[in-house]
Structure 1
Amino acid sequence: MTIAPFVGALIVAMVPRSKGSLAKLIALIWSLAILAWTVAAWVAYKPSGARLQLVESYPWIAEWGVRFTFGVDGIALVMLALTAVLTPLVVLASWDDAKRTNRSEPAYFALILALQGSMIGTFTAADVFLFYVFFELMLVPMYFLIGSYGDGQKQRQYAAVKFFLYSLVGGLLMLAAVIGLWVAGGHNFDWQTLTSAEFSQSTERWLFLGFFMAFAIKAPFFPFHTWLPDAGGAAPAGAAALLVGVMDKVGTFGILRYCLPLFPNASKYFAPLAITLALVGIVYAALLAVGQNDLKRLVSYTSIAHFGFIGIGIFAFTTPAGSGAVLYMVNHGLATGLLFLVVGMLVTRRGSALVSDFGGAGKLVPVLAGVFFIAGLASLALPGLAPFVSEFLVLVGVFSVNKVVAVIATAGIVLAAAYVLWMIQRTTQGTTNPALAEIGAMRKDLTLREAAVVTPLIVLLLVLGFYPKPVLDVINPAVQATLTQDLGTTDPAPKVSTVEANK
């Protein structure tokens, strides 16, 4: 699963530029094959089995103790599934994106497959050095997707460089921590072995900070978030869906996979700081989203707020909050992926991403406007749609240990309703903007190809909104192992009043 996307990227890149349709078809078929592989992995995985399953390990750099070691737990498996589902939909949604930029179509879809391979590598790596390699490798295809195929030459170049520099700084901090981990951990990079390693208090805290800073930038958490609105606003809609829907989840996945299990005492020590940053991000990003006039930047700011919910769920150290955070990662990828793709469809028709350039668009493209409405409702976690379940679990788990944090975070839900409903109302409702009537593309409603893109995501959001059990059954054992085996924490016992106890 890790190697195949890179092979596909190489094949697609070798297709002549004049045969863009062939390149797109190969990329679509290849990404569907990866999806089939992921289904096979899901079937083979046993939630009640070993913590790390489907393990493979091969020698690499013997002098450093580095190996090609791959394996998945429940958290990694659901992230693999999210990656495998979104990639073919992004390929299909981006069918004409490269053509509109007058750049190579084979190169564009080769970059998407290379990005998929590097993301899968980060989720499956069970060797710390191997994880670092894939963590850095992700920057390359996304940099070119933004810088070469994004909107506006100056805007996309600025956004691409800013994205690369922020991520590179985070990667350098992680590299220092990886080297320190190798020295302090007995010249070893194996994840399973390092989970039982012991470090001095100061060493553990410094190593935690090196990893956490890299992951906080990648997620991103406040105040390391400023690169995301620029990158999300400049990137093509499909690339933005992968950036915010999957790639940024590497940050929160890294905290769960590396910070908590390898540095449990430091994780507890820095938990108040992490929760504070996440909480500020929820409110601050939501307030900024309310004032945005650019649709893609608005969606990017909403994602920063959502990452705040994931952050408080992780560092609450309770099973409901932890499971809710992981489920939130999946549901946010589906909802925000759908929202970015639909925004891309609207922007393509209008030729502008500014909210003020729309107005009453729903009268011209009612079906597309309806899908946009559903995507918006999913983003604000309406009951019956998948994000509500994960948000509810996070708030319940956080409330049991810190009521103040849960109450403040709940205010973010109110703000989410404000910015989402404002966006929908100003874009698709009200009096039709006279300028829309002059744009022929604005009269083209949802096409068959676009319907094939949005339908699977809407179905998944509805199914997981009413029946999240299959995903939670995979997530829960991995979260419980992290909390009980690594952190040594237990869920607080329910408090029952004396009157109720007597009854």
Structure 2
Amino acid sequence: MQETLTPNNWILPALILLPFVAGFLCWIFEKVSIRAPRWIALIGMLITLALTIQLWMVGHYAETTSIVVQPGVAPVWQAEFILPWIPMLGISFHLALDGLSLMMVALTALLGVLAVGCSWDEIQKNVGFFHLNLLWSLGGVIGVFLAIDMFLFFFFWEMMLVPIYFLIALWGHSGSNGRSRVYAATKFFIYTQASGLIMLIGILTLVLVRFTQTNTLSFDYMHLLGTVLPYGFEYGLMLCFFIAFAVKLPVVPFHGWLPDAHAQAPTAGSVDLAGILIKTAAYGLLRFVLPLFPHASADFANIAIFMGLVGVFYGAWLAFQQTDMKRLLAYTSVSHMGFILLAIYAGNLMTLQGVMVMMLAHGLSSAALFIMAGQIYERLHTRDLRLMGGMWGQFRYLPFFLMFFSAALMGIPGTGNFVAEFLILLGAFNSHPVFTILATISLVFAGLYTLIMIHKAMFGQPHESQQKLKHPLKDLNGREMSMLLVMVVGLVWLGLFPQDVLNTSHLSMQWLSNAYHYPLFNTPDISPMNSVEIQ
């Protein structure tokens, strides 16, 4: 394993512990004041964001891009923390940070702050328990992005599902199709739990195979990278991991849980789901599937790319048919995640860099639109586009932000979405020209369903149901505008100055690209500190 720049960096466990501790304090202090949990949650996530920025500032991400990355050699970690947990089984609390995980933790912390902000007035019941679940889900996501021990990764992967279930089941809304929030939460839980069980089988099998080769029992990622697998066995294990990540991404036909979960979730839950949770699946494909199973992944690439294209067009087609604003946005996520799946399996450096920018840009733009859907619901008491109309003349600031984020989702120049799509299409064209041309055509559909949403909501005459509301309707307040401005700045920064992100993630993506295209067979045995040798 390559030497890390900052061994046993205590900031890494602090990034995970802060949301858990803050969430617990929210629950305790709810009895003192209903406002206390909100401030505790906000301060906790702001500190988490500040620590992430510090890791970015003190790291040497850009300076190390000149290092020659060789297949079979561990990634260069900018920070690492390792503490024995269950030595008998080769399990440790092993965390590591590189450019890829740093960007995902930063996105999680930022959207965590915004999720707390958008629920400030929306949540009035069991405020402390709500923030406990919100922050624990965020802590679990950060754990997923930092865990390098496969047992620890699986622990966080499953753990974050429970608080999200409660967020939807206890504070969700009734869906436009009449289905209950409990139904949506249960559906989400069953999908993700079943797929997680399949991944657990894959993890245990991989660990046991590596044990038979080295006589060393370890769940450490670095140790498992050197596993030599017969082709058929490798393909089967790759599918175990792929199915688990495909369900959460989600990939058609495993997407059934997403529209209901989005439609019924509270605003903060939708921000968590669209902006962060589904990105854990893309991260899993990048971190684990490509480097652990390179031969099988390469042979599976055309199938995965085809599934991505199906998702792009199917998601867009269903988005056309939606009248519920949140369900429409949910299907746009299905479409955009299909685009990300295509880019991951194209597998060259340019497309992987495009995936990095796309995850950040889509996280910001989709979260912003879900926040705005919540803001519109607070004012009009509906998410039905047929009952809107005329908002352009009723609000001063809300229409501008809605149009900007809708345009960003379409990928207009000057936003991070455009940079991401450009990198992905340019990088994928050489290896998969036909698939790339089809993916380019799909961008037209993205523009159409977004413009239809804008037209129905913004223009025309207000629906007669709005006559029952108090007039004039309140425009965005300072808190709401501040949250939206943060995301505007983020998207414009990604669109005009993407090089900062590209430099930060370059080394990680270069290593992943090499690992994918040059399989890691016959590599030196990497024996981590947390392994146990069986006599």
Could you state the TM-score of these two structures normalised by the residue count of structure 1?
A: 0.94
> In 2, Cα distance between the equivalents of 1:62 and 1:45?
31
Post-superposition shift, 1:135? 0.3
> In 1, Cα distance between the equivalents of 2:273 and 2:416?
20
Post-superposition shift, 1:463? 1.3
1:89-488 matches, cutoff 5 A: 89-99=114-124, 103-152=125-174, 154-186=179-211, 187-440=217-470, 443-488=473-518
Post-superposition shift, 1:124? 0.2
Q: For each residue in 1:376-416, what CA deviation from the matched residue of structure 2 results, as whole angstroms up to 9, or x when unmatched?
A: 00111111111010011111111111111011111211001
- Relative to 1, partners in 2 of residues 1:317 and 1:442: Cα closer, same or farther, differing over 3 Å? farther
CA contact (8 A) 2:294 2:515 kept: no
> In 1, Cα distance between the equivalents of 2:488 and 2:208?
48
> In 2, Cα distance between the equivalents of 1:77 and 1:417?
31
CA contact (8 A) 2:80 2:94 kept: yes
CA contact (8 A) 2:298 2:516 kept: no
CA contact (8 A) 1:349 1:441 kept: no
- Relative to 1, partners in 2 of residues 1:395 and 1:446: Cα closer, same or farther, differing over 3 Å? same
Q: Higher helix share goes to which structure?
A: 1
CA contact (8 A) 1:343 1:372 kept: no
1:48-63 matches, cutoff 5 A: 48-49=63-64, 51-63=76-88
- Asked if 1:26 is matched to 2:51, the reply is no
Q: For each residue in 1:244-263, what CA deviation from the matched residue of structure 2 results, as whole angstroms up to 9, or x when unmatched?
A: 10111111100000001111
- Asked if 1:16 is matched to 2:30, the reply is yes
> In 2, Cα distance between the equivalents of 1:324 and 1:65?
36
> In 2, Cα distance between the equivalents of 1:442 and 1:286?
35
- Aligned residue for 1:260, secondary structure, equals helix
Post-superposition shift, 1:453? 1.0
> In 1, Cα distance between the equivalents of 2:516 and 2:109?
29
Share of identical aligned residues, percent? 36
Post-superposition shift, 1:268? 0.6
- Relative to 1, partners in 2 of residues 1:297 and 1:480: Cα closer, same or farther, differing over 3 Å? same
Partner of 2:91: 66
CA contact (8 A) 2:30 2:36 kept: no
Could you state the TM-score of these two structures normalised by the residue count of structure 2?
A: 0.89
Q: CA RMSD in A?
A: 1.3
CA contact (8 A) 2:357 2:494 kept: no
One-letter code aligned to 1:29: I
Post-superposition shift, 1:485? 3.8
Partner of 1:6: 20
- Aligned residue for 2:413, secondary structure, equals coil
- Aligned residue for 1:52, secondary structure, equals coil
> In 2, Cα distance between the equivalents of 1:241 and 1:369?
20
Post-superposition shift, 1:269? 1.4
Post-superposition shift, 1:438? 2.6
- Aligned residue for 2:153, secondary structure, equals helix
If asked which structure has higher relative contact order (CA below 8 Å, sep 6+), I would say 2
- Relative to 1, partners in 2 of residues 1:468 and 1:301: Cα closer, same or farther, differing over 3 Å? same
CA contact (8 A) 1:217 1:225 kept: yes
- Aligned residue for 1:443, secondary structure, equals coil
CA contact (8 A) 2:319 2:449 kept: yes
Greater shift after overlay, 207-216 or 191-200? 191-200
CA contact (8 A) 1:143 1:163 kept: yes
> In 2, Cα distance between the equivalents of 1:334 and 1:324?
15
- Aligned residue for 2:80, secondary structure, equals strand
Partner of 2:102: 77
CA contact (8 A) 2:290 2:515 kept: no
> In 1, Cα distance between the equivalents of 2:169 and 2:31?
19
How many pairs does the alignment contain? 486
> In 2, Cα distance between the equivalents of 1:430 and 1:35?
42
One-letter code aligned to 2:50: A
- Aligned residue for 1:60, secondary structure, equals strand
> In 2, Cα distance between the equivalents of 1:234 and 1:51?
41
Post-superposition shift, 1:296? 0.3
